[in-house]
Amino acid sequence: MAEMDYETLLPDLRYCLREPDDTQSCACGAFTESELLSLLEKHGGDVRAAAYEGLLRKAEDDSFRLPDGLELPDGRAYWLRLARYYRPCAARHMPRADEVWDDDNE
């Protein structure tokens, strides 16, 4: 089996993660290209699964309070809302109710 070229999937993953691409002038995203490739490799090229994990990583609490009392909120809710879209279905491995179980045939 040929090895998958994960670099061709990078634009799709960048889009899902709201990451800038290299052609933009301010390429100041949360992930480096090697980190994005690592996510794709870890999930076997599944862009949605890689996006889900990446969005969960982006959802860390980044709020802070300045000495003068000004408080800047975090973007956690935004990233978690996006992650929900890419979350895998927990029930996808469950058999259908009308399927016959192997044990029933004995």
Kindly state whether residue 83 falls inside one of the protein's structural domains.
yes
Dump pLDDT digits (tens) for 25-55.
566 788 989 999 999 999 999 999 999 999 9
In a domain, 21, yes or no: yes
Inside any domain, residue 105: no
pLDDT of residue 1: 35
Give me the domain span that covers residue 2: 1-62+72-87
Number of domains into which the chain is organized: 1
Task: Calculate the average pLDDT of the chain.
Answer: 82
pLDDT band, residue 73 (cuts 50/70/90): confident
Would you say residue 98 lies in a domain? no
State the CB neighbour count (10 A cutoff) for residue 97: 5
pLDDT > 80? residue 105? no
With respect to residue 92, please indicate whether it lies within any of the assigned structural domains: no
Give every CB contact of residue 33 below 8 A, 6+ residues apart in sequence: 10, 22
> Who has greater pLDDT, 24 or 21?
21
Would you call 89 helix, strand, or coil by DSSP? coil
Number of H helices, E strands in the chain: 4, 2
94 is a domain residue: no
- Does residue 9 lie within any of the structural domains? yes
Question: Does residue 76 lie in a domain region?
Answer: yes
Over residues 71-97, mean pLDDT: 80
